[in-house]
Amino acid sequence: MPRAVADGWQTAGIITLQTGQPFSVLTGQNQSSTGLGNDRPNLVGDPNAGPRSVAQWFNTSAFALNAPLTFGNAGRNIVTGPPYKNVDYSVMKNTRLTESLSMQLRAEFFNILNHPNFALPRNTMTAPNFGALYQTPDVAQNNVGLGSGGPRLIQFAVKFNF
């Protein structure tokens, strides 16, 4: 009996660590008179020297509105967004019941550390929450699913193999 309890255990894990995604800052105004309203601003400081907080992820004062009828000098994808960190873990117990029947008990933990992963911050200068992190990737993609970086999820399962 002790051998039946001690044998057949398995564990598995997935660790995902990604650096932040680069993105561009836009003015939100049509200073260049191109009719598009997505001009780039002028760069006047280091945008990645920001406080890295939820209220202000990057240095918003590193950008200035471009002059009328001009294009800003800020480059494309010069700001780095928040990183993505996720740990999923599972533990399983396989038990043979008869010659042709076995059972597996399984517990799976998605985002076991319950680490919040945010989407890119607001990148439009005219937005009231410019530079702020305001949603998780799940909300941004309207996709709340297992292993996607949302809240911690735990599921249990029993599987019979015959």
Integer angstrom CA distances of residue 138 from 49, 88, 94, 149, 158? 27, 16, 33, 7, 28
Please report the pLDDT score of residue 105 as a whole number: 96
The full length of the chain comes to 162
pLDDT higher than threshold 50 for residue 122: yes
pLDDT in tens, 59-100: 999 999 999 999 999 999 999 999 999 999 999 999 999 999
Please report the pLDDT score of residue 136 as a whole number: 63
> Mean pLDDT for the chain?
88
Predicted model pTM: 0.76
pLDDT in tens, 124-153: 999 999 999 977 655 555 444 433 457 889
106: which 2 tokens?
């399984």
Domain boundaries, the chain: 2-161
- Residue 139 phi/psi, 5-degree rounding, is -70, -40
